[in-house]
Structure 1
Amino acid sequence: MDSSYSDKELIKLLPGFTNHYTKVNGVKIHYVIGGQGDPLILIPGYPETWWAYHHIMPLLSEYYQVIVVEIRGMGSSGKPESGYDKKNMAKDISELVRYLGFEKVYIGGHDIGAHVAFSYACNYPTTTIKLVLLDTPHPDPSMYQLPMLPILDANYLYPWWLSFNQVKELPEQLLEGRMSIVISWLFDHLLVNKESVSSFDRAIYIDVYNNKDAIRCSNSWYQAFPQDIADFTTYKKLNIPILAIGASGYDLLRNALPSASTNLQLEKIENCGHFLLAEKPNEVGLLIRDFLAN
């Protein structure tokens, strides 16, 4: 790994934030913390790290104590062989919340991080004040209806990686040392403004995902989907306030969340792809700030 992309070097670019590491639920967790006020937990997704939030961390830290958590298998967090169902990963977050001494938290996530944040709110509702979901709902039974082949002439980006990442062992063998191919493809095809994730940003993500263990673990987030879907069917409707911000994933949020929540605010960001934290950080940051404050 390149030391110029290490936690120690990256944190220097965000004054007021510091790196921390602790062990919870049997796994080492890396988190970045800064700011003052009520605690706001933010969780990144695939194929990113805590750095995904770097544009909005300074804004939100003016009002909240911001804690960006790298989930198990991500970045500098531990990479165990198991435990990647989102209910167990929510337990990681719950134990971290207790470790930090918080009674209640705001929590949000993007992509896989949104899965974990939603699961946290469902399993620990008494400690959840409000929930923010960015472009992705929790896995539910509708995922089984995703096509195995691209739909002819449809204006639809076929999500082949959902199936590819289900395969065990082969992706690590194919991609170790070559994750730049996948990561560049994802950003090039899931962004409207491809320059919004800079070459520096891409290098950070490639650096941490480029080894066998990182590929295995990130694929494990996807391989847990059947268990996540089964868990989802047991959850009661959430009564806490939920903000769902969608860009390319807006329709997914609009279709999935009304039946899973009673207090939903749905916002759409135009001319934006999946990585809305990079493409539209000001809009996303202000929507989150106003939602948490009201």
Structure 2
Amino acid sequence: MSFRLTIVAAALLFMISPATAQVEPFPSSFRVADVPAGDATIHVRIGGKGPAVVLLHGYGETGDMWAPMAVDLARDHLVIVPDLRGLGLSSKPLGGYDKKTQAGDISAVLNHYKVKRIDLVTHDIGNMVGFAFAAQNRNLVRRFVLIDAPIPGIGPWEEVLKNPLLWHFRFGGPDMERLVAGRERIYLDRFWNEFSATPARFTEASREHYARLYALPGAMHSGFAQFAAFDRDAADNQAFLAEGGKLKMPVFAVGGGKSFGPMMATVMRAAAENVEEGIVPDSGHWIMEENPAATIKLVRAFLDEGK
């Protein structure tokens, strides 16, 4: 990174420091660390005590999305919330955005904290990273919640790709990066609006917060790279199932009532033996903005079933 880009990054990081964060902050009891993971450094929030639960965010957001759920779960869990590589305050290497590699990032975080068994709660791109992790670490994942996004190569993946709302899956490359440079908010607003049942619930404060994070040097490249890796991810996921069979841990497939809905369970029944279906009512894709109370209630009830 050039000296100029370093100065820009430092300035932007100052703008989005915890003191000025515009989304709901994590409790002060949560610790923050940057954990080495091969060629990446993963920004992690960790707090609470008890059985470990890992929360993985998706595209258009960062681990900040989980703050309300982290507050609830930290009452009786050790809550671990990473930013995926390339996003949020994690480092932004040029490569490694296939989900198998990113599953290795999660392993590095767990090894750092000496965590041997987890519940896993994921949303959007986090579903894909979580699936790659669970498929390779079946004995480590006790219960698995996936929320409102498909898995490359699994179930009706080819049909899902035909949905015109998912045009961004094939949108990337240097020209696309130049097109959105300095216009990150315009680009992201499209997703926040089109994938919401009620766009106003994705507040202006949250939009500004995430737009600043995605304007950090390398962030939009990393975001495009998440989608560009889907063909590789599909092949990896099919290989995971061919080698190990379907997942056997309890799986909770949750869809936004006005988004993926019951399709999440359809997807996961192609890859897991024990699938429970859940719906977040009165919500589109952005479940933690549109109906956080219902989302937290559903997730906690499922995790508590296994106690």
What is the TM-score with the length of structure 1 in the denominator? Answer: 0.91
Q: CA RMSD in A?
A: 1.8
Q: After superposition, give the CA deviation of every residue in 1:36-94 in whole Å (9 maximum; x if it has no partner).
A: 11111101101101111122211111121111110111111111111111111001101
One-letter code aligned to 1:250? G
> 1:209 maps to which residue?
214
State the alpha-carbon separation in 1 of the partners of residues 130 and 163 from structure 2.
Answer: 30
One-letter code aligned to 2:253? A
Please point out which of 133, 145, 163 is paired with 2:146. Answer: 133
One-letter code aligned to 1:287? L
Please point out which of 70, 74, 80 is paired with 1:57. Answer: 70
> 1:117 maps to which residue?
130
> 2:186 maps to which residue?
181
> 2:273 maps to which residue?
262
Contact 1:175-1:210 within 8 A present in 2 as well: no
One-letter code aligned to 1:45? G
User: What displacement does 1:283 show?
Assistant: 1.0
Please point out which of 152, 158, 161 is paired with 1:144. Answer: 158
> 1:160 maps to which residue?
167
Please point out which of 7, 23, 26 is paired with 2:36. Answer: 23
User: What displacement does 1:102 show?
Assistant: 0.7
Percent of pairs with identical residues: 27
One-letter code aligned to 1:279? E
Deviates more, 1:277-286 or 1:140-149: 140-149
Residue 52 of structure 2 corresponds to residue 39 of structure 1 = yes
Residue 102 of structure 2 corresponds to residue 89 of structure 1 = yes
State the alpha-carbon separation in 2 of the partners of residues 78 and 172 from structure 1.
Answer: 18
User: What displacement does 1:211 show?
Assistant: 4.2
One-letter code aligned to 1:67? I
State the alpha-carbon separation in 2 of the partners of residues 146 and 12 from structure 1.
Answer: 34
> 2:297 maps to which residue?
286
One-letter code aligned to 1:118? F
Please point out which of 195, 199, 202 is paired with 2:204. Answer: 199
> 1:155 maps to which residue?
none
Residue 260 of structure 2 corresponds to residue 246 of structure 1 = no
Deviates more, 1:16-25 or 1:104-113: 16-25
Query: Structure 1, unaligned stretches of length 5 or more?
Result: 151-157
> 1:3 maps to which residue?
14
State the alpha-carbon separation in 1 of the partners of residues 17 and 200 from structure 2.
Answer: 22
SS at match of 2:208: helix
User: What displacement does 1:259 show?
Assistant: 1.9
SS at match of 2:218: helix
User: What displacement does 1:14 show?
Assistant: 2.6
Aligned residue pairs: how many? 285
State the alpha-carbon separation in 2 of the partners of residues 171 and 8 from structure 1.
Answer: 33
Distance 1:82 1:174, change over 3 A: same
State the alpha-carbon separation in 2 of the partners of residues 2 and 194 from structure 1.
Answer: 27
SS at match of 1:68: strand
State the alpha-carbon separation in 2 of the partners of residues 55 and 245 from structure 1.
Answer: 18
Q: After superposition, give the CA deviation of every residue in 1:260-286 in whole Å (9 maximum; x if it has no partner).
A: 111111101232100111111111111
User: What displacement does 1:145 show?
Assistant: 3.8
One-letter code aligned to 1:291? F
User: What displacement does 1:212 show?
Assistant: 4.9
User: What displacement does 1:161 show?
Assistant: 1.3
SS at match of 2:55: strand
Contact 2:25-2:64 within 8 A present in 1 as well: no
Contact 1:176-1:212 within 8 A present in 2 as well: no
SS at match of 2:107: helix
One-letter code aligned to 2:255? G
> 1:75 maps to which residue?
88
One-letter code aligned to 1:208? L
Contact 1:8-1:19 within 8 A present in 2 as well: no
